[in-house]
Structure 1
Amino acid sequence: MTFAFRDVDPLRDAELLHAWVTHPKAAFWMMQDARLEDVERAYMEIAADEHHQALLGLRDGEPVFLMETYDPAHRELAGLYEARPGDIGMHFLTPPADTPVHGFTRAVITAVVARLFEDPAVARVVVEPDVRNTAVHALNEAVGFVPEREIEKPEKRALLSFCTRERFERAVAA
């Protein structure tokens, strides 16, 4: 599967994102009760933040997933681990599908991590999913993430995990 990426337009994309982040499948996104205005505001804040970025993944020109990146030394993980130069944090969300496509979510995470490693300055991708989100732990492991430890964030207990370029390349080549 081939994907393209574009920046989220907070106003144009708010309805789509609202449907995605409030769906029960997106429980770990922690926006279940968000109103449309809350989603607009959240993505306007991201758009204005030099340490955070939101992108839509497109397939045949249509949005099919959400990807966020952040500088873990300044957002999400600031003060919770020893950030290194070249670290980048990542979140991704695949929306519910009327007709699920086998392997789609794995193709998405592979494309997301590959996109991050296109930047030669990126040495490691950092993730901190909820410890209860076993489905994403398996996906992370499939593309080369190695769990380091559980950490306590204000909103959740998270599994801090890292993926180097070399581990990613080995995982996707296997």
Structure 2
Amino acid sequence: MTTAPQVGTFTFRPLDPLKDSELLHTWVTHPKAAYWMMQDARLEDVERAYMEVAADEHHHALLGLRDGEPAFLMEYYDPAHRELVGLYQPQPGDVGMHFLVPATDRPVHGFTKAVITAVMARLFEDPRTARVVVEPDITNKAVHALNEAVGFIPEREIQKPEKKALLSFCLREHFEKAVHA
């Protein structure tokens, strides 16, 4: 559990692909979620995609709750087995991460930064996590700024099958320094 002043209290629960697919469908197909690359997904596509995640021992999805209500999506994965295989040399303790904050008509100042901070805190709760790895689209300047705000350091551009990405890393001590600065 993470509490962010003026934003709320964040908790996490495992994503239920059947129960949560309608909500996720509205989030991932919204025009502001273009970087999620599911704009044309049908409800069945979203359900199927998250059933695959649920069955995958190397990829996990959590629903982030704000004061008990669904508010964002968090995914984490083992980059030695998913997403980044062959694109960099993973180290023990590496954990890959994605997060999605859905579009809203009533934005709350500081909400997205509070979300990424809560996501990172959740990942670093596991003592085995030494470093978090992200690979956002190189054109997604907003997420690059958020990543930097929580301690990520860009390493290099990489070419994934679906996009050109900015490979970035955040060590536990970089996160702690960034959020307590």
Please, what TM-score do these two structures have when normalized by structure 2?
Answer: 0.95
2:73 maps to what in 1? 66
Does residue 145 in structure 1 map to residue 152 in structure 2?
A: yes
Quick one: distance in 2 between partners of 1:134 and 1:98?
21
2:116 maps to what in 1? 109
Secondary structure, counterpart of 2:13 in structure 1: strand
Does residue 13 in structure 1 map to residue 20 in structure 2?
A: yes
Query: How far apart are residue 59 of structure 1 and its match?
Result: 1.1
- The count of aligned residue pairs is 174
Letter in structure 1 aligned against 2:136: P
Q: Give unmatched runs, 5+ long, in structure 2.
A: none
Quick one: distance in 2 between partners of 1:99 and 1:34?
25
Does residue 31 in structure 1 map to residue 38 in structure 2?
A: yes
Cα deviations by residue, 1:69-126 (Å, 9 ceiling, x for unpaired)? 0000000001100000000000000001121000000000000000000000000000
Query: How far apart are residue 56 of structure 1 and its match?
Result: 0.5
1:81 maps to what in 2? 88
Letter in structure 1 aligned against 2:115: V
After the TM superposition, list the runs of 4 or more consecutive aligned residues in structure 1 that deviate by more than 2 angstroms: none
Letter in structure 2 aligned against 1:134: K
Cα deviations by residue, 1:131-160 (Å, 9 ceiling, x for unpaired)? 000000000000000000000000000000
1:90 maps to what in 2? 97
Quick one: distance in 2 between partners of 1:127 and 1:111?
16
Quick one: distance in 1 between partners of 2:15 and 2:176?
28
1:40 maps to what in 2? 47
Aligned CA RMSD, in angstroms, stands at 0.4
Secondary structure, counterpart of 1:84 in structure 2: coil
Q: Give unmatched runs, 5+ long, in structure 1.
A: none
Query: How far apart are residue 61 of structure 1 and its match?
Result: 1.2
Query: How far apart are residue 60 of structure 1 and its match?
Result: 1.6
Quick one: distance in 1 between partners of 2:135 and 2:141?
12
Letter in structure 2 aligned against 1:42: A
Quick one: distance in 2 between partners of 1:170 and 1:38?
40
Quick one: distance in 2 between partners of 1:25 and 1:66?
14
